[in-house]
């Protein structure tokens, strides 16, 4: 089996993750504020490592959630957007961004502006500038597309957004662990992320970074294990945005993944870039293969979207998996708007997403499989 | 050969188009070749796991792997119920009629 679906979830997980999750499950449970006095060590360690990844000083600004979707909902709902407030986003977004925004558009009269792409495949900067000139409350952008791998010029976009007084929200679900995600350098006020993709941790854990001085309203409140004497949910970060029993096994796994990344992450991602480039070049050389949304020399993560002439997307995915043993993803990839912009609507694309664990031999076998299908 | 079960397969859309048909017997090269008359048919005998693709004028796709007890059925965007009923009738009739002759 050749696993090329790392943009959906990373596999294999980082060394140490399985053991850490297992050990946590096998050990006497510890939950911060609820059981052992030392139980806060793991969340603190995890937050500290994430804060270092974001280049921020205050680890208490990192909130642990179940996934990036929860994090994005906490951010979007926590900003208390009102009727008439404008939010600027893009066609590159995942449904975890689009659906909370669309829901507020319908329910609360939010004005949602979705920036498209130019014919060359870049974000339409003219449309973006026009939207910024109207003074939006929020600019919410994907760092890297899970369909094309394209990395957005976030630092410049968010700089313009700040000049207009907007809050900036970055969806780093596809970028964190793959490329630098420095909050200050990217001008990001809020960053949502997941633990199971680029960070190579387990599913069921993600998080949210919120800049100091920006306080989101609480969306989910309840048990915290601390300040149980208060009638209302505590207001201090990170407890302010965390309610319910935390997923300690997943946190242990994520912490182990972060430890591994600190030492080996750069080399792993360099290997992933090499494999992605080999794959892209190999597919490009096959007549009958159409690549989507990629241009030489531009920043990208390890995602390659394509179609094979004469093969419907769903059928091609079935053949690759069932006959050649290549695990890939087909369809819209939960990002419905980008496909009209890149020419892959209505059925979407086939997507390969290698990692640093993918071997050169696996890339060669994959290219050969596509070649045989395209013949 | 009979269809034992039809299981909807989740996809990016409304989940009503893709089914996994579980069969009472595995696909053999003989049973695969019997599908050739039902539409545009290709059999990739040289693929790592030999596999067939059947596409009909009604927009139906059927894919299966030799030796496996199932096949993937993708229904067209329109007229799904009728196409699926026709498939079920024709598929079983075609396979079983030939089985009797052999």
CATH of the domain at A330: 3.90.1150.10
Q: Are residues A255 and A278 in the same domain?
A: no
Q: Are residues A112 and A233 in the same domain?
A: yes
- Note whether B51 contacts A319, CB cutoff 8 Å: yes
Residues of B in contact with A331 (CB under 8 A): 11-13
Q: Are residues A144 and A209 in the same domain?
A: yes
Give the range of the structural domain holding residue A370, as residue numbers without chain letter. 2-10+266-374
Tell whether A33 lies on the interface with B, counting CB pairs under 8 A.
no
Q: Are residues A295 and A253 in the same domain?
A: no
Q: Are residues A254 and A279 in the same domain?
A: no
Q: Are residues A217 and A309 in the same domain?
A: no
Nearest-angstrom CA–CA distance, A57 and A55: 7
User: DSSP alpha helices (H): ranges in chain A?
Assistant: 17-26, 41-54, 68-78, 95-108, 125-133, 154-163, 248-284, 313-322, 338-342, 360-374
Q: Are residues A254 and A366 in the same domain?
A: no
Last residue of a domain, one of A260, A288, A318: A260
End-to-end CA distance of chain A: 22
CATH code of A112's domain? 3.40.640.10
Q: Is B95 exposed, middle or buried (0-12, 13-18, 19+ CB in 10 A)?
A: buried
Nearest residue on chain B to A326, judged by CA atoms? B48
Strand partners, A300: A150
Q: Are residues A159 and A139 in the same domain?
A: yes
Q: Are residues A33 and A175 in the same domain?
A: yes
* pLDDT, one tens digit for every residue, chain A (375 residues): 999 999 999 999 999 999 999 999 999 987 776 666 667 889 999 999 999 999 999 999 999 999 999 999 999 999 999 999 999 999 999 999 999 999 999 999 999 999 999 988 899 999 999 999 999 999 999 999 999 999 999 999 999 999 999 999 999 999 999 999 999 999 999 999 999 999 999 999 999 999 999 999 999 999 998 889 999 999 999 999 999 999 999 999 999 999 999 999 999 999 999 999 999 999 999 999 999 987 777 889 999 999 999 999 999 999 999 999 999 999 999 999 999 999 999 999 999 999 999 999 999 999 999 999 999
Q: Work out how many domains chain A is built from and give that number.
A: 2
Last residue of a domain, one of A208, A228, A260: A260
Q: Are residues A256 and A284 in the same domain?
A: no
- Note whether B12 contacts A322, CB cutoff 8 Å: no
Cβ contact A255:A171 at 8 Å: no
Strand partners, A168: A139
Q: Are residues A280 and A236 in the same domain?
A: no
Last residue of a domain, one of A243, A260, A277: A260
């Amino acid at each position: 089996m050749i696993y090329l679906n790392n943009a959906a979830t990373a596999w294999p997980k980082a060394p140490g993750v399985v053991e850490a999750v297992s050990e946590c499950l096998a050990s006497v449970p510890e939950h911060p504020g609820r059981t052992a006095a030392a139980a806060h060590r793991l969340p603190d360690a995890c937050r500290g490592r994430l804060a270092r990844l974001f280049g921020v000083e205050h680890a208490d600004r990192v909130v642990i959630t179940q996934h990036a979707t929860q994090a994005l909902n906490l951010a979007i709902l926590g900003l208390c957007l009102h009727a008439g407030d404008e939010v600027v986003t893009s066609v590159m977004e995942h449904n975890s961004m689009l659906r909370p925004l669309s829901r507020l558009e319908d329910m609360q009269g939010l004005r949602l502006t979705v920036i498209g792409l130019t014919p060359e495949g870049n974000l339409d900067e003219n449309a973006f500038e026009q939207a910024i000139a109207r003074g939006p409350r929020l600019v919410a952008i994907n760092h890297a597309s899970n369909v094309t791998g394209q990395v957005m010029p976030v630092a410049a976009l968010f700089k313009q957004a700040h000049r207009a007084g907007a809050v900036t929200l970055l969806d780093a679900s596809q970028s964190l662990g793959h490329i630098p995600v420095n909050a200050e350098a990217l001008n990001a006020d809020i960053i949502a992320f997941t633990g199971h993709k680029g960070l190579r941790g387990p599913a069921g854990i993600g998080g949210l970074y919120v800049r100091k001085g920006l306080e989101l309203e609480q969306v989910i409140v309840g048990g915290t294990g601390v300040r149980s004497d208060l009638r209302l949910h505590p207001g201090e970060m990170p407890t302010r945005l965390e309610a319910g029993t935390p997923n300690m096994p997943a946190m242990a796994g994520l912490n182990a993944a972060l430890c591994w990344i600190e030492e080996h992450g750069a080399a792993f991602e360099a290997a992933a870039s090499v494999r992605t480039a080999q794959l892209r070049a190999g597919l490009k050389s096959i007549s009958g293969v159409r690549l989507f949304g990629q241009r030489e020399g531009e920043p990208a993560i390890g995602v390659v979207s394509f179609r094979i002439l004469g093969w419907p997307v769903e059928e091609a995915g079935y053949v690759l998996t069932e006959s050649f043993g290549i695990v890939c993803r087909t369809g819209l990839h939960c990002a419905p708007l980008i496909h009209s912009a890149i020419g892959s609507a209505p059925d979407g694309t086939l997507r390969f997403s290698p990692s640093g664990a993918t071997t050169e031999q696996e890339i060669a076998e994959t290219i050969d499989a596509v070649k045989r299908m395209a013949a | 050969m009979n269809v034992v079960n039809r299981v909807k397969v989740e996809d990016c859309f409304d989940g009503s188009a893709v089914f996994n048909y579980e069969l009472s017997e595995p696909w053999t090269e003989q049973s695969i070749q019997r599908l050739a008359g039902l539409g545009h048919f290709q059999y990739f005998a040289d693929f790592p796991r030999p596999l067939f693709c059947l596409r009909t004028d009604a927009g139906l796709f059927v894919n299966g792997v030799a030796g496996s007890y199932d096949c993937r059925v993708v229904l067209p965007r329109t007229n799904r119920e009728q196409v699926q009923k026709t498939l079920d009738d024709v598929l079983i009739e075609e396979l079983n009629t030939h089985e009797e002759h052999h």
